[in-house]
Chain A
């Protein structure tokens, strides 16, 4: 292959990197109204009265909107295919405010100073209500977070609104209790994963205006242009046909921009005033008024025989969705159905529990989407089971894990009575290679490094999916332009990952050209066919397959057109990317000549070649990773340093080795941050404490030492050129592998993330006392 599996540079790299104006705020019109949001200072309250007269009277204020000015139709900001599993539980502005930071009023003014001044002039009288802050005590709490009766759900998600249960899940196979009872060894532990912030560098933002036809135009830093169009249509009660959504370059997303957190606010200002409007969240709002990862509690019971054959895995989970239910049921169920199939030898598995509403910032989609939470619990329990069995944890996994060709009834794409087959996996090779790269034989479980420091190694494995089976849909259009270059239209949303580039690589491979001959134009809902957007690890697999279909269609059309021009039968010509030539060598036309005759030469062809391709997966082929951590723990302070992190990945064919490598490195570091210090914390009044980079620490470059990445490629038969996904799976292994390494170093099992020095040191002190 000349384009695919090549380390091709990102097509936008030189320009984004050198500061060209290509992001949302760079493109906003100069005189756009500045939109600011007045927010609730209370975790739970009802607005008794709100007086906006003084604010509205201030010179330069264009409008002040309250709950009295918005449609009384509930919607969700979650970017999901319709009908969304997320409940329609919010209004643009509500009389009831459900967390510190919830929107109370929208102010639009000619500049920021005026808007901020106007906010101070709004008088709000609140009736303060008792908030629900502890998610372990939300169910049955005296306060009901969503007491309103006009909340809607599209289908049963197990909601029990009056008991603060947003959604529930119960899945599994076999008789878990019977298998546990018959197991010689049982591990039973409870694990906690914290809320994590996305902390993308570009904060949330959108600007809106009316176009020449009076239609609402929304330019947004979003992963989900088509979902934004549908969400705005419902929230604002205007037809979808009156809305256009455009995504420029995005400064990072990580799933955060799979929720339409900001678009509705400038949009309603533009509709009310007819004027352009812009809303840019500052870092504090980005931390405290959008979404975070769902914090979860997962109790694992795992049973095995003395030889290490796993009999049963039971996961009882509880998830905190905060004040609104964005992605609540899906993140929750994914924590089960993308972790349980890993251990296919288990006779019985179950994943069960509830998602609860609390009066905190809503949770949402974040890279890993529940699997990160589920894997921490599952893999930590596996490591403990290995300890109990006095067995090498790698060997325990090799004995029980799913292998290529095996089927599993929970695996995505399964139907009742017809379990899906795992068509590709090199997880066994990933583990073997990872052990070599970390030096497992020499270092497991620990090496005293002299003095008060000790080193330990630990491991974890994981899977994810590639798109959402039966739901994700992508369409791609390729047109041949008049000088033999192509335009590829796709509404996948490159957020810096390089997905535009890898789609161009795939098209170029089929069309036997180079990516400089392909213009990639993405994410404009007026022009480009439907794509669910870039999330759920879907773009390489779903949009990639659509790209191949479109490129193959284009190839066929080029051959047919040239054969007609040359008066040769279609099966007597061949196309090599540069020209179509008769097999007998008598005639030939270059791609430039074909394109010109179609469009320019007196309109001879009277047509332009436009090819289309659509794809939606029946399965969601899982990529796999074996992750290995080597840590050094300071026995005096409990501080943990990651000395080396090894990840060996099976993402099928690697479409672009250098971009894939960076995805892995970036995801691992986000996972290391989650393992060791990232933590969204609240005061006992429900106010977020960690709303800036002083309080919420993400890894800086001095925190990161050695990261080792290797690929062990399988070939996924349904994937584009054999590829599976890479974007999310990369974040899952660091928390359990690092926890394991810390245990192996100092004998302290931290089951509540993050693994802070305090927890490690206290663990050592308590062990000494015992």
Chain B
């Protein structure tokens, strides 16, 4: 079916299957930052914003995006680079495959939490898996980025 979605502040008409998930639609339309890491909503790689809220695009039917605002990291390059610089400075970038989804959650957290504790940060980001870093380097970087180190 045909739906109208606002992706990164531009209105796009998309042809989608009834059972298609948003992650696949977005990749099909060239938003390659969005990665698929699992099929069970566990890894967080596919995180995008739906109406500003971090959302797993692998667990969101594409048709449900009709009329909504979808934001991917392509539209947040300035803000993303700001976080990325802290990750890279810590050496916690590693393979980078989980990073776009991770950064989308980090950017949402920054809007939502004021001066979070370590536990609050870990809890907010718990849905974003990473197999390379062991997480502690990411935590150091995110705390510096948030100014709570």
Contacts and interface: CB of A to CB of B under 8 A. Distances in A.
Contacts of A668: 134
Nearest to A694: B40
A201 B131 contact: yes
B89 A9 contact: yes
B135 A704 contact: yes
Contacts of A496: 94-97, 132
B1 interface: no
B93 to A, nearest CB: 4
Contacts of B43: 201, 283, 693
B2 interface: no
Contact of A669 (B35, B88, B134): B134
A249 B96 contact: yes
Nearest to B89: A9
Contacts of A670: 131, 134
B61 to A, nearest CB: 15
A251 B132 CA distance: 9
Given A10-B91, A17-B87, A702-B126, A252 B40 contact: no
Contacts of A284: 39
A283 B133 contact: no
B48 to A, nearest CB: 11
A254 B97 CA distance: 14
Contacts of B126: 700-702
Nearest to B72: A19
Contact of B95 (A20, A252, A698, A706): A252
Contacts of B63: none
A665 B134 contact: yes
A498 B122 CA distance: 25
A692 B40 contact: yes
A448 interface: no
Contacts of B74: 19
Residue of A26, A249, A700 most packed against chain B (CB within 10 A) = A700
Given A252-B97, A702-B122, A283 B134 contact: no
A603 interface: no
A434 B35 CA distance: 39
Contacts of B98: 201, 251
A507 B98 CA distance: 30
Contact of B40 (A12, A693, A699): A693
A10 B33 CA distance: 19
B15 interface: no
B80 A18 contact: yes
Nearest to B31: A19
B40 to A, nearest CB: 5
A16 B93 contact: yes
Interface residues of A, number: 56
B137 interface: yes
A64 B129 CA distance: 36
Interface string B96-139: 11111001000000000000000000110110111111111111
Interface stretch (A342-350, A654-662, A679-687): A654-662
B13 interface: no
A496 B90 CA distance: 14
A498 B137 CA distance: 15
Interface string A661-674: 11001111110000
A403 B131 CA distance: 34
Count class of interface residues, chain B: 35 or more
Contact of B96 (A251, A692, A701): A251
Contacts of A113: 17
Interface string A25-52: 1100000000000000000000000000
B93 A693 contact: no
A7 B92 CA distance: 12
A619 B72 CA distance: 49
A211 interface: no
Contacts of A706: 136
A135 interface: no
A662 B132 contact: yes
Contact of A201 (B37, B40, B77, B137): B37
Contacts of B32: 19, 21, 25-26
Given A9-B88, A201-B43, A17 B93 contact: yes
Contacts of A12: 96
Nearest to A730: B134
Given A200-B95, A284-B39, A692-B42, A17 B137 contact: no
A667 to B, nearest CB: 7
Interface in B57-98: 72-74, 77, 80-81, 84-85, 87-98
A622 B80 CA distance: 40
A174 interface: no
B38 interface: yes
A702 B88 CA distance: 22
B42 A17 contact: no
A41 to B, nearest CB: 19
B7 interface: no
B131 A662 contact: no
A27 to B, nearest CB: 9
A497 interface: yes
Given A694-B42, A701-B125, A18 B91 contact: no
Nearest to B27: A25
B39 A17 contact: no
Nearest to A282: B39
B95 A201 contact: yes
Contacts of A17: 80, 84, 87-88, 93, 96, 99-100, 103
A692 B41 CA distance: 10
A505 interface: no
Contacts of A282: 39
B45 interface: yes
A19 B91 contact: no
Contacts of A16: 93, 95-97, 99
A405 interface: no
A497 B94 contact: yes
A707 interface: yes
Interface string A631-664: 0000000000000000000000000101101100
Nearest to B123: A702
A200 B133 CA distance: 11
A199 interface: yes
Given A13-B96, A17-B93, A693 B38 contact: yes
B91 A200 contact: no
Nearest to A672: B134
A541 interface: no
Contacts of B37: 201-203, 283
A250 interface: yes
A666 B132 contact: yes
A18 B35 contact: no
A652 B128 CA distance: 34
Contacts of A252: 94-95, 97, 131-132
Contacts of B93: 10, 13-14, 16-17
17 contacts: A10-B88, A18-B84, A19-B33, A19-B80, A21-B32, A200-B97, A201-B129, A254-B131, A282-B39, A283-B37, A496-B94, A498-B94, A662-B90, A669-B134, A693-B129, A699-B135, A701-B139
Question: What 4 pairs across the A-B complex have the smallest Cβ distances?
Answer: A496-B95, A19-B33, A16-B96, A251-B97
Interface of A: 7, 9-10, 12-14, 16-21, 23, 25-26, 113, 198-203, 249-252, 254, 282-284, 495-498, 656, 658-659, 661-662, 665-670, 692-694, 698-702, 704, 706-707
Given A18-B73, A18-B81, A496-B132, 20 more contacts: A9-B89, A14-B85, A16-B96, A17-B93, A17-B96, A17-B100, A17-B103, A19-B33, A201-B131, A202-B35, A202-B95, A251-B96, A252-B97, A254-B131, A658-B89, A658-B90, A670-B131, A670-B134, A694-B40, A700-B135
Interface of B: 17, 27, 32-35, 37-40, 42-43, 45, 72-74, 77, 80-81, 84-85, 87-100, 103, 122-123, 125-126, 128-139
